[in-house]
Amino acid sequence: MFRRSPELQVFLVHPGGPFWAKKDAGAWSIPKGQYLDDEEPLEAAKREFAEETGFVPEGNFIELGDLKQPSGKIVIAWAFEGDCDPQKLKSNTFPMEWPPKSGRQIEVPEVDRGAWYSVEDARARLLAGQRPFLDRLLERIR
């Protein structure tokens, strides 16, 4: 999601859970997730955005293409113009073993917070493998 307020800003989310708790620069992400074989990627992106943020994505969707992440995973992204109050973010949760190899399961939010950032600030906060999406967004909306 992006907005013009008055400068261009993008909405990023911070991953939840104890592993990410003290990480900031280079840890934030675009809201994203996996899609099923029978699911259209754009519909999955809308579903994942809503699940991770509690906000319904609406508007004209701008395809930003795909990027291969350092992990080998392929991320396909779209952008849309919108607005939200990050204080009202409500994420789904998932179970994870913590501490590792302890056998103990805890429930953690998929994302623990969201925030609006200028493109420059977003570059410093985003996972390195997602930074090219910022350039693609700038190309497509100018």
Whole-number Å distance between alpha carbons of 44 and 37: 10
Burial class of 72 by CB neighbour count within 10 A (0 to 12, 13 to 18, 19+):
exposed
* pLDDT tens per residue, range 2-55: 999 889 999 999 999 999 999 999 999 999 988 888 999 999 999 999 999 999
What per-residue confidence (pLDDT) applies to 101? 95
What per-residue confidence (pLDDT) applies to 36? 82
Mean pLDDT over 54-61 rounds to 97
Whole-number Å distance between alpha carbons of 87 and 98: 27
Please give the share of the chain, as a percent, with pLDDT higher than 90. 94
Block residue for tokens 């997730």: 33
What per-residue confidence (pLDDT) applies to 115? 98
pTM of the prediction? Answer: 0.94
Q: Is the dihedral of CA 17, 13, 30, 85 positive or negative?
A: positive
* CB 27 within 8 Å of CB 125: yes
92 to 25, 34, 77, 96, 113: CA distances (angstroms): 23, 14, 20, 13, 12
